[in-house]
Amino acid sequence: MRMKELSLRQDPDLRKELALLARGCDFVLPSRFKKRLRAFHAEQGQAGLERRPCTPPPLTKVSEAPVPTALSESIPKFYFPRGRPKANLNIDGLIAKIEKIFSQFPNERATIEDMGKVAKACECPLYWKAPLFNSAGGDRTGFVSVHKFVAMWRKMLQTCHDDVSKFVHLLAKPGCNYLEQEDFIPFLQDVVNSHAGLAFLKEASDFHSRYITTVAQRIFYNVNRSWSGRISCSELRKSSFLQNVALLEQEEDVNQLTEFFSYEHFYVIYCKFWELDTDHDLYIDQRDLARHNDQAISHKMIERIFSGTVTRRLRKDGRLSYADFVWFLISEEDKKTDTSIEYWFRCMDLDGDGVLSMYELEYFYEEQCVKLETMAIEPLPFEDCLCQMLDLVKPEVEGKITLRDLKQCKLSHIFYDTFFNIEKYLDHEQKDPFSVVREAETEGQEISDWEKYAAEEYDILVAEETTTDQYNDG
């Protein structure tokens, strides 16, 4: 269109008339202009036909090149949710070893007492025996035939390629690829029944369920990092749980397995709960929990614990279960682990926005100030305390403390105690600040705060019990 306009303006006969028409002259008749314009277009069209090159032949459809191999076929598989398959795995050879073991039993049937040998033939840790027995139907019939077990184990070898996926498959409900708390009960009951270090519990059957509940809670506390209530294969792989299960066979003293199975740790937790549970129905209310450690925990924090933000098993009347107390006590006595940092962050994050605001910090600090004044101690103004805490945590975004900030600062225990534990806050205030920094730098080289606390409290409880026995005998 632009080229036509330019050529039109260059016509000598029309340029003058166009100029006059642009100035609005009346004597340029529109009909005359239109005739000249049509004649000019006709001449341009004729010239275009003379200059037009030969019409090219119609385009033919180019045949498409053969489709290359799909990209997914050229990239090797890298995701193995059930473990990487082992090359040259001799399944028939493994089955033959199992059949040889079963041939030693009457009618080729194994009872739960025989399953230790079967577990070793399967190249599994000894305390997999109960899950193996139950998975093959032994819990229903009281025994396992060689045919049922071989069929079960052959399928297992074909579908599960590492210890984690096998263990999950053995314990999980049909169709589930995760473990819930009740899935661990038969496995833990067998540990109680057969481990030499727990032989003294055989006569105290009332404590079986208490010990099992404690160990199950500790498993989820350390392994279930997603807080979902379901342990996945991925979470189990990242934990040391299966290594601890394997150590049960080698270690006669379960108290050496402090991460999950220690009876001494269970004893400390249960005795602390027993002191608070005055009616001994395994549930406590807010007033009961407030008495813990001579009312060191603030009432505002106790209200948050009972609000459901970190609990799963609150009764309709709002009371806390023993299982939830296990989480509370471990988190209270060791505020340096990832789970405990998350536990208290959830409690302090009142609006659930993932950030501890200055309002939320002041909300908890107000009660600390009241307690300090009651003890005739002048509290630090909130503005000064806030400056100290921000210097301690060094948040990435000024004025906003996130969970990530607290995990990175290595001094989360001091931060939390400042806002809701008056006794530990005063202990920190009396310490040399340089010693606190040195402790943070050497973290991981010594036993955990929880292990220190459990060892000290166990010694105190044993000493008290010994004194009581001597008094009664005297």
Arithmetic mean of pLDDT, 454-460? 97
Percent of the chain topping pLDDT 70: 80
Q: What pLDDT was estimated at residue 40?
A: 63
Q: What are phi and psi of 331, to 5 degrees?
A: -70, -35
pLDDT greater at residue 462 or residue 50: 462
pLDDT(167) > 70: yes
Identify the band that residue 74 occupies on the pLDDT scale cut at 50, 70 and 90. confident
Q: What pLDDT was estimated at residue 90?
A: 86
Q: What pLDDT was estimated at residue 216?
A: 98
**Whole-angstrom distance, CA of residue 195 vs CA of residue 217:** 20
User: What confidence tens digit (pLDDT) does each residue in 349-362 have?
Assistant: 999 999 999 999 99
User: What confidence tens digit (pLDDT) does each residue in 214-254 have?
Assistant: 999 999 999 999 999 999 999 999 999 999 999 999 999 99
In whole numbers, what is the pLDDT of the chain averaged over residues? 86
pLDDT(6) > 60: no
What's the pTM? 0.81
User: What confidence tens digit (pLDDT) does each residue in 110-159 have?
Assistant: 999 999 999 999 999 999 999 999 999 999 999 999 999 999 999 999 99
Q: Token pair for residue 200?
A: 């003294």
Identify the band that residue 1 occupies on the pLDDT scale cut at 50, 70 and 90. very low
Arithmetic mean of pLDDT, 161-172? 95
Q: What pLDDT was estimated at residue 81?
A: 77
